[in-house]
Amino acid sequence: MAAAGGRRGCRGRAGLLLVGLCLLLGCGARAEQMDEYLKREHSLVTPYQGVGSGSSSLWELMGNAMVMTQFIRLTPDVQSKQGAIWNRVPCYLRDWEMQVHFRIHGQGKKNLNGDGFAVWYTKDRMQPGPVFGSKDNFLGLGVFVDTYPNEEKQQEAQKRRYSAGNQRVFPYVSAMVSNGSLAYDHDRDGRPTELGGCTAMVRNLNHDTFLVIRYMKRRLTVLLDIDGKHEWRDCVDIPGVHLPRGYYFGVSSVTGDLSDNHDIVSLKLYQLTVERTLEEEKRDKEVFLPVVDNMKLPGLESPMEPMSGLALFLIVFFSLVALVFALVIGIIVYNKWQDQSRKHFY
Ligand SMILES: [Ca+2]
């Protein structure tokens, strides 16, 4: 609680600074009013009284997830486990912020651990599957804290490597929005469908680690506080994200050949109250399917590696050979046809 209070204080100071700056610059009209309220029905805090299978419980456990005194253990540091916890109450808020206080720790050495966990805001709940223990082709938002570089390990085995600009260093946090048609590519750590992401050294730390998903005025931001400095660091920032209301919050995790303890200390959902202009009201109208404006998924478009000079040369060379071949055949056929039509004429 104290850490969270401190961190909220940090943001409060930044907000004051912003307002001050705005007053100085004469942009008072644009200084945004933002109030926030903790919504108990979508939050999960010690002593986890609302967790259980009864119909009055707010949160439901799945798989190997277990309630401990200080945290919810989604998976233990044991192979082939899968656990989740899902909110029973659909969220009808327009603007919200989910604060996730988590811990990932285990015996495995670096890159000999896995697989991480996912935070969900989706239409379906309590559906086991291959995406960090939850179903694929989901409708909604998934934020993944991926601790094992599947793609990189495969590339290493094939002695290939991304260029420095495209290399992702793990653990890696990324966000994905799907309308049910997109699948998460586990072997490529979700690269083809990633909206944005960042490296996050979140494992085996002695200080508290937090992740925030903020959804405000159709802007999706993911912020991290993982360095023990009580400071938020930007990770993902995507405008034009349209998520329907009435979806469910959940957290899920999975272990495979490699494992870790994946613990959730708390989930705190804040309602954000923001003022909208008429134009913004129009833009932010209700949607019934998740959609992202101008969605460019770099992983779907660009090839794995840029074409090498040799490959380009070979393609041009063989294209020319084929062209010459086609010309020669054409000339032969034409001559034959002319001979025949001459014979026919005489
Ligand atoms: Ca992975």
Residues 27 and 153 grouped into a single domain: no
- Angstrom distance (rounded) from CA 252 to CA 271: 23
Question: 2-22 pLDDT, tens per residue?
Answer: 333 334 433 443 444 444 444
Cα of 115 from ligand 1 centre, angstroms: 6
Residues 58 and 96 grouped into a single domain: yes
Banded pLDDT at 343 (limits 50, 70, 90): low
Asked whether 96 and 272 are in contact (CB, 8 A), the reply is: yes
Cα of 131 from ligand 1 centre, angstroms: 10
Residues 197 and 225 grouped into a single domain: yes
Cα of 306 from ligand 1 centre, angstroms: 23
pLDDT at residue number 195:
97
- The verdict on residue 127 lying in a domain is yes
- Angstrom distance (rounded) from CA 152 to CA 306: 17
Question: 87-122 pLDDT, tens per residue?
Answer: 999 999 999 999 999 999 999 998 899 999 999 999
Cα of 210 from ligand 1 centre, angstroms: 20
pLDDT at residue number 146:
98
Cα of 147 from ligand 1 centre, angstroms: 6
Banded pLDDT at 338 (limits 50, 70, 90): confident
Residues 232 and 330 grouped into a single domain: no
- The verdict on residue 342 lying in a domain is no
Cα of 41 from ligand 1 centre, angstroms: 31
Residues 159 and 254 grouped into a single domain: yes
Question: 240-284 pLDDT, tens per residue?
Answer: 999 999 999 999 999 999 999 999 999 999 999 999 999 999 999
Cα of 161 from ligand 1 centre, angstroms: 16
Cα of 59 from ligand 1 centre, angstroms: 27
Cα of 167 from ligand 1 centre, angstroms: 14
pLDDT at residue number 3:
36
Residues 115 and 217 grouped into a single domain: yes
Residues 193 and 138 grouped into a single domain: yes
Banded pLDDT at 295 (limits 50, 70, 90): confident
Give residue 14's domain range: 1-31
Cα of 4 from ligand 1 centre, angstroms: 29
- The verdict on residue 151 lying in a domain is yes
CA dihedral 149, 198, 161, 129 (to 10 degrees): 30
pLDDT at residue number 109:
92
Cα of 150 from ligand 1 centre, angstroms: 5
Cα of 274 from ligand 1 centre, angstroms: 36
For the beta carbon of residue 49, count every other beta carbon within 10 angstroms: 12
pLDDT at residue number 346:
56
Cα of 264 from ligand 1 centre, angstroms: 19
For the beta carbon of residue 336, count every other beta carbon within 10 angstroms: 10
Q: Specify the pTM.
A: 0.79
Cα of 125 from ligand 1 centre, angstroms: 22
CATH of the domain at 87: 2.60.120.200
Mean of pLDDT over the chain = 87
- The verdict on residue 345 lying in a domain is no
Question: 159-216 pLDDT, tens per residue?
Answer: 888 888 888 999 999 999 999 999 999 999 999 999 999 999 999 999 999 999 999 9
Residues 132 and 274 grouped into a single domain: yes
According to DSSP, the β-strands at 219-225 and 116-122 are unpaired
What strands lie across the sheet with 59-63, from one edge to the other? 59-63, 82-87, 248-254, 116-122, 139-146, 172-179, 196-199
pLDDT at residue number 302:
47
Cα of 272 from ligand 1 centre, angstroms: 32
Banded pLDDT at 56 (limits 50, 70, 90): confident
- Angstrom distance (rounded) from CA 292 to CA 237: 12
Cα of 171 from ligand 1 centre, angstroms: 8
Number of domains the chain is built from: 3
Residues 1 and 89 grouped into a single domain: no
- The verdict on residue 211 lying in a domain is yes
- The verdict on residue 182 lying in a domain is yes
How far CA 342 is from CA of 13, 103, 318, 333, 336, in Å, comes to: 94, 88, 36, 14, 10
Banded pLDDT at 344 (limits 50, 70, 90): low
- The verdict on residue 343 lying in a domain is no
- The verdict on residue 346 lying in a domain is no
